[in-house]
Amino acid sequence: MTTQKNINIDTKSQLAKLIATENLTVEHNKVKTASFDTVNRILTLPIFKVQSGDVYDMLIAHECSHALYTPTDGWKKIKDDDELRSYVNVLEDTRIDKLIQKKYPGVVRNYLNGFDVMQKQDFFGIKTKNIDSELMLIDKINLRSKSLNRLKFNFNLTERQWLKKVDALKTFNQVVKLAKEMLDWQKKQVNKLSSIPKMDDLLKAYDTSTQKDTKDGEDKSDFEKAIEESDKIKSEESSDDDADGDESTSVTKGGAGNEDSKKKFIAITDVNYENNKGDLYDKDKSYTYYNMPDMNVNKLLIKQKKFIKMFRSYIKDEMKKDHGSKEYYTWLKDDFKKFKNDNKKTVMYLVKEFEMKKSATAYRRANTDKTGIIDPLKLKNYKFSDDIFKRLTVLPDSKNHGMVMLLDWSGSMADVIKETVDQLCNLVWFCQKINIPYKVYFFVNDNHYDEKLEEAAYNKKVGDLSLSTFNLVEVANHTLNKRELDESMMYLYSMAKYYQNRYTRYGRDEYGTPAYNNFGMPREFNLGSTPLNEALVALHKIVPAFKNKYKVEKLSLITLTDGAANSSNGVYALNDEGKLYNRSARGMAMLRHGKKYFCQNKKHFSSYYFYGSDITANFLDMFRKVHKVTTIGFYIIKRLRGYDGERYFSRLDDTSETRKKQFSKDKCTTAKEAGYNEFYLINGKQMNVENTDLDTINTDMKVGKIKQIFGKSMKNRITSRVLLNKFISQVA
């Protein structure tokens, strides 16, 4: 028997698609019955918690058949009548189960085994009942259908006539009509029997009657009158049913239930099944399906030229205030120029590494073919070899590389923002040298909510993920000339130095003396929260256009961050007035994209949280599979033994200690993170870009000493550029 652990919800979704005969979208959610959105072609199924694969498949087939054959507006025709609804439910289940079993004979075995499992658990509440004498006809019909005619019932002639009508049902309207007729008939049967005096009343009437001999023509006792009335009723029943010796119709205590109840004609097997079916639902699991919002990117994007313009205007205003801004601006240009020159040799070394690895990979994939042209130098071998043709080594076309970098500009990055920007600068210069298309963005949210901007930024519709407003700032790309690129990266470098100095304008030299007066940055670029998911929604439109425009075949999307994304506000739904509102979301995040859905962190089944990290993982997984992008994450850790380090190392199981040692030695290690092709943990306290000074070497030094200094220089230059080293191994 298939156990619960082996039941794969994705597999069951595929089963539902096959049964539904179309590539519809299948969603599992906290619902009590299946529903089908005919416009969007979305089939919603309950989340079942069963240990039997047969039961699960039976339920899937049953619910899919409802979605296929039961009209969505059919139940609206039935008024608030629990008795009629019960009859319709039984007859409709009988009709649609027969249809799905006929269409897919393979599910018949699931129905047979599934019923046996449910019967053992007394799902229908008949364990202590006599199924012939204590059940109404509607209950017998229900069990006959559910058991596939394996339960032994004694149907009289009248009941067999009803069975013929049930088996002839073709449409839902016929189901409703027959349900009304059967319910009326059942009530008449009960009313006839209820008119028969109970035996206790008959005996009481006999005891209190006058004890005298009754002659012809005299009044009869109450008892005799009751007996005659009873005989008359039985005679009418016999005439109505034409029972032919069959057992009379059962309308007894089990079916009628409480005589004082207004719902005494409800099918008890259907009621028991519906009540017990609640035990099949997984109450611990909750899903929220959502669409990636349609974003008007231009409303939120600050392009590179605007970024420079905003900074120039800001600097101009600061200089008017004369707070040492002129001196700082001069110092900044010299300091950035020195930083860039210090990194030139290392970047060139990494360029060579990249070209070597790329070439080596190409040669590994090379193949040699005969050209069909005779090689004169091989003619001498014609007597003992047929191989006298020239050969041609064919190298596969090298792919056009591209890169998009996304920098986390949130408050928690303040402690490592300078080191991260230094590494980012190296990535930019590396891309410039190897001449590949690239773009560099940082996302920022200064927590100033703008309702008008939100309305303009998102084309909201039902099912869309609710996200906040933010800005995606482009600071570099491959189309800029040298002056524009240097100016833009210098402003980013300046902002990073501001936060490096703990939010103070004063930078200090190695002796702690104030060395310059940092003029800060425009308010729009202050560190804020982490709108990572919002930025990915924007890139969902930017990346395909980027790949298409520059003919990029191998694109790497790099995120540089130190934490999880903001949690979502919820998912948009319609209220009673038909207006959109932000409905709170709970449970596992399920990204719907076309006919597919993406769910990476399948262990998150919380009924209380809708994790921002899960949304990130889903977005990245969609990027990989839909946009054919390699996703690389660099996570900056500031405290190895704290929460931000242990939560990743704990996922590595038996290799965690080895990875920790590697982390200490190399300043980085790989880790597991949903949505990423590669995810690297970076030591935030040891990621400074180092440039060992070789000027200390002189002619009087011994060879060993020179070798030691040079070796240390190369080691520092390479290991301190973690991001570049790891990037090369991924994209070459």
- Other Cβ atoms less than 10 A from the Cβ of 509: the count is 9
What is the DSSP annotation of 171-202?
Answer: SHHHHHHHHHHHHHHHHHHHHHHHTSPPHHHH
Question: β-strand 580-583 against 465-466: which pairing, if any?
Answer: unpaired
User: What CA–CA distances, in Å, run from 213 to 210, 222, 225?
Assistant: 9, 14, 15
> Among residues 196, 192, 93, which one has the least CA distance to residue 138?
93
Question: β-strand 554-561 against 401-408: which pairing, if any?
Answer: parallel
Average the pLDDT over 175-197 and give the result. 82
Instruction: Check residue 286 and give its pLDDT.
Output: 76
Average the pLDDT over 592-616 and give the result. 74
What is the DSSP annotation of 97-148?
Answer: HHHHHHH-GGGHHHHHHHHHHHHHTTTTS-TTS-TTTSS-HHHHHHHHHHTT
Instruction: Check residue 252 and give its pLDDT.
Output: 45
Q: What is the pLDDT of residues 450-462, one digit of tens each?
A: 778 888 999 999 8
Burial category of 114 from C-beta neighbours within 10 Å (exposed 0-12, middle 13-18, buried 19 and up) = buried
Question: β-strand 596-598 against 580-583: which pairing, if any?
Answer: unpaired
User: What CA–CA distances, in Å, run from 321 to 187, 329, 522?
Assistant: 94, 14, 15
Question: Which structure tokens are listed for 713?
Answer: 């220089």
At residue 154, does pLDDT exceed 50? yes
- Other Cβ atoms less than 10 A from the Cβ of 719: the count is 15
Which residue has better confidence, 670 or 216? 670
Average the pLDDT over 118-146 and give the result. 88
Instruction: Check residue 39 and give its pLDDT.
Output: 62
Q: Are 586 and 606 in contact (CB under 8 A)?
A: yes
Question: β-strand 42-46 against 35-37: which pairing, if any?
Answer: antiparallel
Q: Are 683 and 665 in contact (CB under 8 A)?
A: no
Q: Are 487 and 481 in contact (CB under 8 A)?
A: no
- Other Cβ atoms less than 10 A from the Cβ of 657: the count is 10
User: How would residue 12 be classed by pLDDT, with cut points 50, 70 and 90?
Assistant: low
Q: What is the pLDDT of residues 328-357, one digit of tens each?
A: 888 889 999 999 998 888 788 778 877 776
Average the pLDDT over 126-142 and give the result. 88
Tell me how far apart the alpha carbons of residues 334 and 282 are, in angstroms, rounded to a whole number: 64
Is pTM, for the whole model, over 0.85? no
Q: Where are the beta strands (DSSP E) in 625-724?
A: 629-637, 668-671, 678-683
Q: Are 667 and 686 in contact (CB under 8 A)?
A: yes
Could you tell me which residues come within 8 angstroms of residue 380 by beta carbon, excluding any fewer than 6 positions away? none
Q: What is the pLDDT of residues 541-567, one digit of tens each?
A: 999 999 999 999 889 999 998 878 888
Percent of the chain with pLDDT over 70: 65
Could you tell me which residues come within 8 angstroms of residue 568 by beta carbon, excluding any fewer than 6 positions away? 290, 465, 466, 467, 533, 585, 610, 612, 615
Q: What is the pLDDT of residues 563-584, one digit of tens each?
A: 788 888 789 988 888 888 888 8
Instruction: Check residue 471 and give its pLDDT.
Output: 93
Q: Where are the domains of the chain?
A: 4-210+235-280, 398-470+522-731
> Among residues 652, 582, 641, 647, which one has the least CA distance to residue 613?
647
81-85, 289-293, 370-374, 534-538: lowest mean pLDDT where?
A: 370-374
Average the pLDDT over 418-434 and give the result. 88
Which residue has better confidence, 39 or 213? 39
Q: What is the DSSP letter of 458?
A: B
Q: What is the DSSP letter of 209?
A: S
Tell me how far apart the alpha carbons of residues 16 and 14 are, in angstroms, rounded to a whole number: 5
Q: What is the residue-averaged pLDDT of the chain?
A: 76
At residue 200, does pLDDT exceed 70? no
167-181, 279-293, 418-432: lowest mean pLDDT where?
A: 279-293
Tell me how far apart the alpha carbons of residues 464 and 349 are, in angstroms, rounded to a whole number: 47
At residue 319, does pLDDT exceed 90? no
